[in-house]
């Protein structure tokens, strides 16, 4: 990756700093899971730059509170729509309601991490079901809207949030839903985060010639509701917090965690470019054990695995 795409921003950049001086009036963005954490800060930065932002959330009350907070500094409308990524009927309802209204930015931000074994309404293991299959069905269902933005002279972008956790596991195609193998919550999380990257690779391959790009983003370590399934003891053992409950200095704030998503959504240097894994507001290098805090594993960018996941996703979701 000697020709990696980099920017003037870095690990400490905030989402607001990324959009400083940008005018996004006339553009529309959907941010999933935008009721808190990285999602709400992503939505806030885009709205302050003038984009119309839709918060696609499972909890409408929490979404309404987030929208009211964002609206205090927004320069365009901020609205809330119901979306449960663990229920494909909810996803289909969302895309049907949206129709072909031009959509410039789809930011697949929502996620679940390291939960106990559970299954979605459609019988997917909860982490890959929510993090990948729900977002896959959402993106495919919104293709007409993304294409409509292109017809208006604007290239549309899809952003899939992944994680450093993708290193924990490739996609196990023979048993993605843990029907025949012991469940490991961290392996399942890693599999779902690898799937997010492979989705970006596969989506970009299929739609780049139609004016839609897709990239995956690693936001960095951020202490948010994503850790809700972890005990304090687990987080202490990992070194994420100390005995007093203080967060490790290496963690980002939600505003910093949102920066790479916002950069991926707005950076001119990414016009027409996709299928990448981005971190710290730049294209990630290949993983190197000598510097384990950054980098992407080869299995997450494997085009054959991306094609295989796409076929599985079509068969599993019917879209």
Please tell me the distance from the alpha carbon of residue 95 to that of residue 72, in angstroms, as a whole number.
Answer: 28
User: Residue 280, class by beta-carbon neighbours within 10 Å (0-12 exposed, 13-18 middle, 19+ buried)?
Assistant: buried
Catalytic-role residue among 101, 119, 178, 189: 189
Classify burial at 262, counting beta carbons within 10 Å of its beta carbon; exposed 0-12, middle 13-18, buried 19 or more: buried
> What DSSP assignment string belongs to the chain?
-TT----S--TT--HHHHHTT---TT-EEEEETTTSHHHHHHHHHHHHTT-EEEEEES-HHHHHHHHHHHHTT-SS-EEEEE--TT-HHHHHHHHHHHTT----EEEE-----SPPS-B-TTS-BHHHIIIIIIHHHHHHHTHHHHHHHHHTT--EEEEEE--GGGGG----TT-TT-SSS---HHHHHHHHHHHHHHHHHHHHHHHGGGTEEEEEEE---B-SGGGGGS-HHHHHHHTSB-TT-PBPTTSBPHHHHTHHHHHHHH-GGGTT--S-EEETTEEPPBP-TTSTTS-B-GGGS-HHHHHHHHHHHHHHH--
Catalytic residue check, 101: no
The closest of 125, 137, 132 to 90, measured between CA atoms, is 137
Active site residues: 189
């Amino acid at each position: 990756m000697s020709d990696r795409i980099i920017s003037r921003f870095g690990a400490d950049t905030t989402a607001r700093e990324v959009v400083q001086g940008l005018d996004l009036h006339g553009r529309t963005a959907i941010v999933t899971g935008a009721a808190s954490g990285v999602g709400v800060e992503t939505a806030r930065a885009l709205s302050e730059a003038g984009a119309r932002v839709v918060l696609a959330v499972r909890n409408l009350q929490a979404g309404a509170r987030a929208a009211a907070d964002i609206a205090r500094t927004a320069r365009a409308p901020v609205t809330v729509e119901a979306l449960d990524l663990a229920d494909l009927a909810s996803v289909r309802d969302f895309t049907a309601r949206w129709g072909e209204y031009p959509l410039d930015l789809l930011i697949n931000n929502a996620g679940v991490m390291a939960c106990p074994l559970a299954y979605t309404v459609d019988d997917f293991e909860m982490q890959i079901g929510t993090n990948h299959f729900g977002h896959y069905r959402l993106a495919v269902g919104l293709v007409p809207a993304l294409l409509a933005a292109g017809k208006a002279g604007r290239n549309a972008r899809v952003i899939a949030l992944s994680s450093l956790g993708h290193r924990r596991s490739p996609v196990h195609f023979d048993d993605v839903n843990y029907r025949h193998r012991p469940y490991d919550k961290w392996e399942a999380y890693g599999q779902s985060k690898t799937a997010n990257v492979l989705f970006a690779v596969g989506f970009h391959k299929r739609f780049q010639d139609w004016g839609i790009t897709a990239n995956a983003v690693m936001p960095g370590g951020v202490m948010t509701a994503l850790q809700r399934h972890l005990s304090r003891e687990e987080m202490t053992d990992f070194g994420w917090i100390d005995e007093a409950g203080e967060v490790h200095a290496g963690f980002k704030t939600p505003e910093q965690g949102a920066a790479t998503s916002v950069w991926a959504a707005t950076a001119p240097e990414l016009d027409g470019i996709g299928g990448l894994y981005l971190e710290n507001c730049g294209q990630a290098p290949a993983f190197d054990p000598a510097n384990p805090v950054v980098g992407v594993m080869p299995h997450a960018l494997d085009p054959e695995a991306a094609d295989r996941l796409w076929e599985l996703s079509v068969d599993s979701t019917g879209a």
